Structure 1
Amino acid sequence: MAKDFLLEIGTEEIPASYIKPALEAMAAMLSKTLSEQRAAHGSIQTMATPRRLVWLIKDVAEKQEAQTIEITGPPKAAAFDESGNPTQAALGFARAQGVSPDELQVKQTGKGEYVVVSRHQAGISTVDILSGVLADLIQDIPFPKSMRWGSLKVTFARPIHWIVALLGQEVVPCTYGNVTSGNTSYGHRFMSPGPFEVTEIDGYVEALRERFVIVDIEERTERIRQLVAACAKEKNGTIREDEGLLDEVVQLAEYPTAVCGSFDKHYLELPQEVLITAMRSHQRYFAVVDDAGKLMPYFVTVNNTLTRDPQVVAHGNERVIRARLEDARFYYVADQKVSLEDRVEELKEVVFHSKLGTSYEKLERFKALAEHMADQVAPEQKPTVSRAAFLCKADLVTGTVSEFPSLQGVMGRAYARLANEDAAVAEAIYEHYLPTHSGGALPSGTAGALVSMGDKLDTVVGCFGVGQIPTGTADPFALRRQALGIIRIILAKDLSLSLYDLIKQALDGLDGKLTEPKEQTYQAVLDFFKVRLQHFLIGQDQPQDVVDAVLAYHLDPLVETVAKISTLKAFKESETFEPLVGTVKRVVNILKEPVDGDVDPELFVNQAEKDLYQEVVTCEQELEKVLAKRDYGDVLERLSELKGPIDHFFDDVMVLDKDLSLRQNRLALLTRIANLFQQLADFSRLVL
């Protein structure tokens, strides 16, 4: 009979950002453990509050599935004599396995006939399985930082106070540190701090709710949405949408309540982003906006307890935010006393990287890169690109950005506007930081896009050039994100830029800074971009075999590479795909390796090879023109016309002729055919 399994780990308050990854990791480990131990189970539900991590597994088998195992002994020839009697080898094997010689069986294996013993293993109870692994699984839950407490040697994100581990109504014994599992849980720290027994897993969620703990994350999220929306509605406003803040606040309260507060209207003179950041980053307040999306002088806070007098709480929150906003106003006013242009000089005192120099040196490098790109794709934008690149890092030395680092770029744009810089320059200053995450918004303008790519490329190439390459666990300069940002911008803007050229330009700008060999760095960066492009395209639902086939021979320019992939993806759905690819694979399989040397028509002895050669020559001439138009559908259509002549060639011609000169000539012809198809992709990698 299947039973539900409940695991609750009760702790001190765990940081909000730790919770979701921990839940996912433990769920995966529990599922893997049960599967490996042949204990069937149903779905896994994860729940949490700041003080507890919870896993509820439905329909867990009471015991593992029984199995029959075979133990292989000596070969039959060594186990029995000519009369079929067991030898000492067979007798010794039987004795070691605790069976009589009569129970030995002979089984055919890949190595011949061997003596085997079949043994039935009854399944052990799931309680025993879980009891034996829970402590190790708890220890293996990953956290950015773990801690020890008391004199214990075990670690966890925060000290553990209780563990509930139940299979049905039976306690799963487990000890972690000085805490032993049981069926005792606890309610809200302040509103219902006492212990209670979990007598029924089905009633666990409701029992906590009665004790002012909403353990279901989705339920708590929806409760907060409704509470803060109601508060904003009282002020004739709505909550500014902020899923990131909501996700964080959800993990800060076990029983959320909401209170509305206000601030002086004169603070609305500050840039909207400054106000939002001051409320969000430090205080985790939700901003209230009007129907036009403009900030109102109100905010909503989420608390972890029921409040007797909301006004008292609101006044306390108002005092806190008033101090934060006053600081922001002070910095904002002070920053305007020095122009962005004058602040650029201060970047000479800001270290970007110990081996790559100051932020000013970096600015000079990526400014040159951005101007180089502008020359190629938007020469009319070069003055805007140049000015934006020069000013875009100046806000890093302002007081506002020092206090609120997330406002880099935002304040640069604001101060540029106040200084009457061109609107396109101001916007490019902000947009050069985009995208800020893997699926984030891209620069809308060309100038911002080029400055963004220049900045990101200098960082990627520079870090590779000094040996700071991302690992599986560390990417301190977010090089993966930066490379992906470059790829996304090039593709979205349809920029005819050569990645090969840009990497070389970036390397030239880093002369005197590199600690790694230049050619080695160039290839490493190129490979890095190739992997990032591969992951990006597969994530965009491009077939992996098509992506691999095109990237085997093509990477640059990116827009053309992606066009080839899209063409091949569409081709996979056609009736001619399998026949053509099958023919090309036959060409590649016979070649194994490309053959050097020219094709000599004088050595042809068969009409089929003469016809194929003439078709190849014609195709080579026509394909050059079609490729220049970058219409890869036409390229594929022209290549498809080679199928018939190739098939006739294989039907009528012995490629691997005994005459070496004929063989070499025919292989050289096949090499030219392979080269034609390779202008689109490595067709041998396509999956039929």
Structure 2
Amino acid sequence: MHTQDFLLEIGMEEIPARFLNPALEQLKELAVNLLRENRLPFGEIKTCGTPRRLVLYVYNLAGVQESLIQEVKGPAVKVAFNPAGEPTRAALGFAKSQGVDVSQLVVKNLGPVEYVFAVKRQEGRPATEVLAGLCPSLIAGLHFPKPMRWGTLEVRFARPIRWLVALYGDQVIDFSYAGLRSGRITYGHRFLSQGPLEIPHASKYFEVMERGRVVVDPERRREMIWNQVKELAAGAGGQVVPDEELLTEVTNLVEYPLALCGSFDESFLQLPAEVLVTPMREHQRYFPVRDARGKLLPRFIAISNGNEDYLDTIRAGNEKVLRARLADAAFFWKEDLAIPLAQRVEALKKVVWQESLGTVYDKVERLIGLSRYLARVFAVGEKETEQVLRAAYLAKADLVTNMVYEFPELQGVMGREYALASGEDPAVARAIYEHYLPRFSGDELPVSTPGRILSLADKMDTLVGCFAIGIEPTGSQDPYGLRRQALGICHICLEGELVLSLRGLIEQAYEQYRGRVELKLRREQVISHLMDFFAQRLKGIFADRGLSYDTVEAVLAAGFDDLTGAWQRAQAVEAFRDEPHFEAVLTAFTRAHNLSRKHGSTTVDPAVLVHPAEVALYKKLKEVQEEVARNLAARDYRGALAAMASLRPGVDQFFDAVMVMVDDEKIRNNRLSLLKGVATLALGVADLSKLVAAPGDKLYT
């Protein structure tokens, strides 16, 4: 089959860096789907891009569509032809409707009946013709967070489209879009390439772009940048800590990367490291340089979009901009230190946290109450209790400092630094910083006791307040970061193996609001909604940790008020499923559960037990219940499951010898209560009815 490479380039004004990767993923997915739908076989598909272009490159695209053969079922043979074998009006009408001659109809069996079929073959069209129709669909199918319109056009795109290239081999794929006509003319680097560039053949595209000083492949740009950064850092006597997010962003900001090393006054190193790193990284997209011990050096590495021409001028410009930012930071630092952190708390009364939930000062008061509750739950000593209460009082004070106003990313960080500068206990300062953790997926977790308590209090206060006034995440909308807050609580409890009642914490947080603000939902409604919300977070966490879906469902169905306990139970169930006893436990439970699921009582009257098999099962159940209770109290969940396995022989004997559904209502209910006791015994660990039996397991129903 004849094949050629296909190229589509969408040239445009510079798009935001964060738009590029999702757009390339969409472009590839759209191309794969459309080419398959249109029966155009292809080899590899590659998408590349820079701030000024999105590129689709398809290797070895077939020159002609694959033919399409369709079989359309018509009437039964006995209806289509008379006894003499002549076509009836039914056959003639069917053939005409399908555009074939009646003589071309074929006969096929469908079960015991023969039918006539019209077999139609649709020859494939040339790829150039098909692609001309697909290209506009490829471009129109791309979606962006904030699309633009320009001129009088109805077209929406990330930024205005300025040129279109579409080539199949050396042939131009002719189409129009956004008032532009496709061709073979592209443009190179905005400053390093002059005038239009002609692409003679799709296979020459990357070569032409190199001449135009454009590195189209993002992976290659990324590798170039990182190698240059490491080389410059080593030359400055330091190193750069890998930063994937920043590296991805600068890769998507340039077409022809060149790293440069700049410097700043050493006197700025007296400021906290975060005060220097934040303007460098967040505002200027610079890579900070550190020594072998991780201490900042008065150096930074920036990525320019060009060559070495005017490099000294570019370096001087970057140094000037950074110098101004660091001078501002130094000024803010000096001004903020003039007022002790504790004296700023009063100013929080004028800062609205959420219009329906009051000020930040109100939140601080709730944090103090909730932290006191958690200190009691965790049996924290007097000194640490004082530390966490002091930290709760000061936790939000840095929000009214000049530094955090200018650099919001430094909230918590500056609270720690200003607390230390104000002479506060280092444990208090650390808790102020830690209470914002984790800030994003994979971030560090609080490790100090005051930090953990304050972080849990702050996150639960936010969750309960928002849910109580009807603010819950919907789809991708989560302006208060409630999913992140709930995940943070889960991770803190699980990693720290903290034991507390999730429901109890929700109740206490709700009580902190009661009487202070008007809440839309009652306490039980908030608890119900939040427990469901946490269940979804736990499902994700447990699945990410490698647990099977039915283990997760079984454990959460049995309750997860104790988050740490739920995780320990899940681990026990998952491990127990590989042991020989698992089949015994599941069989005993399943047999008892299936018969007693609609029965509501587990109270057994020993005097009503008449058969030796039910007497024996009752006696064994009492023994196992005591053993399981001891295991659960000791959090020995695998031991509890092993104890349950010993019920299997008694359950089997019971079902072999005893008729449960007898006419005597008293005896029948007593036997159902006995079975219900067996079935509910496992609920201290998991709802075993949610488990899917392993292949080969023979379960009774």
Fold match, TM over 0.5?
yes
Structure 2, unmatched stretches of 5+, are: 695-701
| 2:164 alignment partner, SS class | strand
Give CA deviations for 1:132-169 in whole Å, capped at 9, x if unaligned: 34423423323221101111111111111122334444
Task: Give the letter aligned to residue 227 of structure 1.
Answer: Q
Quote how far apart the aligned CAs of 1:627 are: 1.2
Question: Is the counterpart of residue 440 in structure 1 residue 434 in structure 2?
Answer: no
Aligned partner of 1:449 in structure 2 is 452
Task: Give the letter aligned to residue 624 of structure 2.
Answer: C
Aligned partner of 2:567 in structure 1 is 562
Quote how far apart the aligned CAs of 1:113 are: 6.2
Task: Give the letter aligned to residue 153 of structure 2.
Answer: L
Aligned partner of 1:376 in structure 2 is 377
Going from structure 1 to structure 2, the CA distance change for 1:377 and 1:88 (only over 3 Å counts) comes to: farther
**Distance in 2 between the 1:477 and 1:540 partners?**
26
Kept in 1: contact 2:585–2:648 (CA 8 A)? yes
Question: Is the counterpart of residue 216 in structure 1 residue 217 in structure 2?
Answer: yes
**Distance in 2 between the 1:612 and 1:443 partners?**
49
> Residues 79-478 of structure 1 correspond to what in structure 2 (within 5 A)?
93=94, 95-98=96-99, 100=102, 103=105, 105=107, 108=110, 117=117, 119-122=119-122, 124-125=124-125, 127-380=128-381, 381-478=384-481
Out of 496, 506, 510, the position equivalent to 1:493 is 496
Quote how far apart the aligned CAs of 1:433 are: 0.8
Give CA deviations for 1:645-680 in whole Å, capped at 9, x if unaligned: 333444445555677666555444332222112222
Aligned partner of 1:26 in structure 2 is 27
| 1:7 alignment partner, SS class | strand
Question: Is the counterpart of residue 671 in structure 1 residue 672 in structure 2?
Answer: no
Identity of aligned residues (%): 44
**Distance in 2 between the 1:614 and 1:9 partners?**
78
Give CA deviations for 1:463-511 in whole Å, capped at 9, x if unaligned: 1111111111211111111110110000111111110101111111122
| 2:480 alignment partner, SS class | coil
Quote how far apart the aligned CAs of 1:604 are: 5.7
> Residues 500-579 of structure 1 correspond to what in structure 2 (within 5 A)?
500-511=503-514, 512-578=517-583
Kept in 1: contact 2:506–2:527 (CA 8 A)? yes
Kept in 2: contact 1:68–1:118 (CA 8 A)? no
Quote how far apart the aligned CAs of 1:343 are: 0.6
**Distance in 1 between the 2:661 and 2:331 partners?**
84
Question: Is the counterpart of residue 685 in structure 1 residue 690 in structure 2?
Answer: yes
**Distance in 1 between the 2:265 and 2:690 partners?**
66
Kept in 2: contact 1:164–1:182 (CA 8 A)? yes
**Distance in 2 between the 1:63 and 1:658 partners?**
77
| 1:476 alignment partner, SS class | coil
Kept in 1: contact 2:588–2:645 (CA 8 A)? no
Task: Give the letter aligned to residue 476 of structure 1.
Answer: P
| 2:159 alignment partner, SS class | coil
**Distance in 2 between the 1:261 and 1:651 partners?**
85
Kept in 2: contact 1:238–1:288 (CA 8 A)? yes
Task: Give the letter aligned to residue 216 of structure 2.
Answer: V
Deviating more after overlay: 59-68 vs 305-314: 59-68
Task: Give the letter aligned to residue 683 of structure 1.
Answer: L
Kept in 2: contact 1:460–1:483 (CA 8 A)? yes
Out of 634, 643, 650, the position equivalent to 2:648 is 643
**Distance in 2 between the 1:162 and 1:630 partners?**
67
**Distance in 1 between the 2:116 and 2:467 partners?**
57
**Distance in 2 between the 1:156 and 1:489 partners?**
42
Kept in 2: contact 1:14–1:157 (CA 8 A)? yes
Kept in 2: contact 1:94–1:104 (CA 8 A)? no
Quote how far apart the aligned CAs of 1:286 are: 2.0
Kept in 1: contact 2:107–2:117 (CA 8 A)? yes
Quote how far apart the aligned CAs of 1:306 are: 1.3
| 2:11 alignment partner, SS class | strand
Quote how far apart the aligned CAs of 1:685 are: 2.2
Going from structure 1 to structure 2, the CA distance change for 1:195 and 1:654 (only over 3 Å counts) comes to: farther
Going from structure 1 to structure 2, the CA distance change for 1:522 and 1:57 (only over 3 Å counts) comes to: farther
In the alignment of these two chains, the number of paired residues is 686
| 1:238 alignment partner, SS class | coil
| 2:145 alignment partner, SS class | coil
Going from structure 1 to structure 2, the CA distance change for 1:42 and 1:276 (only over 3 Å counts) comes to: same
| 1:239 alignment partner, SS class | coil
**Distance in 2 between the 1:592 and 1:63 partners?**
63
Kept in 2: contact 1:173–1:181 (CA 8 A)? yes
Out of 617, 632, 643, the position equivalent to 2:637 is 632
Question: Is the counterpart of residue 593 in structure 1 residue 598 in structure 2?
Answer: yes
Going from structure 1 to structure 2, the CA distance change for 1:609 and 1:95 (only over 3 Å counts) comes to: farther
Task: Give the letter aligned to residue 231 of structure 1.
Answer: L
**Distance in 2 between the 1:91 and 1:607 partners?**
80
Kept in 1: contact 2:230–2:239 (CA 8 A)? yes
Going from structure 1 to structure 2, the CA distance change for 1:41 and 1:609 (only over 3 Å counts) comes to: farther
Going from structure 1 to structure 2, the CA distance change for 1:69 and 1:579 (only over 3 Å counts) comes to: farther
**Distance in 1 between the 2:466 and 2:297 partners?**
44
Task: Give the letter aligned to residue 618 of structure 1.
Answer: E
Give CA deviations for 1:244-278 in whole Å, capped at 9, x if unaligned: 22221111111011222222222222111111112
Task: Give the letter aligned to residue 551 of structure 1.
Answer: L
Kept in 1: contact 2:461–2:509 (CA 8 A)? yes
Quote how far apart the aligned CAs of 1:204 are: 2.8
Task: Give the letter aligned to residue 538 of structure 2.
Answer: L
Deviating more after overlay: 456-465 vs 305-314: 305-314
**Distance in 2 between the 1:80 and 1:537 partners?**
65
Kept in 1: contact 2:585–2:644 (CA 8 A)? no
Task: Give the letter aligned to residue 103 of structure 1.
Answer: L
Kept in 1: contact 2:68–2:121 (CA 8 A)? yes
Kept in 1: contact 2:502–2:562 (CA 8 A)? yes
Quote how far apart the aligned CAs of 1:326 are: 1.2
Going from structure 1 to structure 2, the CA distance change for 1:303 and 1:584 (only over 3 Å counts) comes to: same
**Distance in 2 between the 1:360 and 1:573 partners?**
53
Please report the TM-score for the alignment, with normalisation by the length of structure 1. 0.91
**Distance in 2 between the 1:664 and 1:96 partners?**
69
Give CA deviations for 1:345-400 in whole Å, capped at 9, x if unaligned: 11111111111111111111122212211111142221111111111111111101
| 2:153 alignment partner, SS class | coil
Structure 1, unmatched stretches of 5+, are: none
Task: Give the letter aligned to residue 538 of structure 1.
Answer: A
**Distance in 2 between the 1:477 and 1:121 partners?**
58
Going from structure 1 to structure 2, the CA distance change for 1:179 and 1:296 (only over 3 Å counts) comes to: same
Please report the TM-score for the alignment, with normalisation by the length of structure 2. 0.90
Quote how far apart the aligned CAs of 1:632 are: 0.5
Going from structure 1 to structure 2, the CA distance change for 1:526 and 1:264 (only over 3 Å counts) comes to: same
Quote how far apart the aligned CAs of 1:630 are: 0.9
**Distance in 2 between the 1:519 and 1:74 partners?**
64
Kept in 2: contact 1:73–1:114 (CA 8 A)? no
Q: Tell me how large the CA RMSD over aligned residues is.
A: 3.0
Question: Is the counterpart of residue 616 in structure 1 residue 621 in structure 2?
Answer: yes
Task: Give the letter aligned to residue 392 of structure 2.
Answer: A
Aligned partner of 2:52 in structure 1 is 51
Going from structure 1 to structure 2, the CA distance change for 1:584 and 1:303 (only over 3 Å counts) comes to: same
**Distance in 2 between the 1:108 and 1:438 partners?**
57
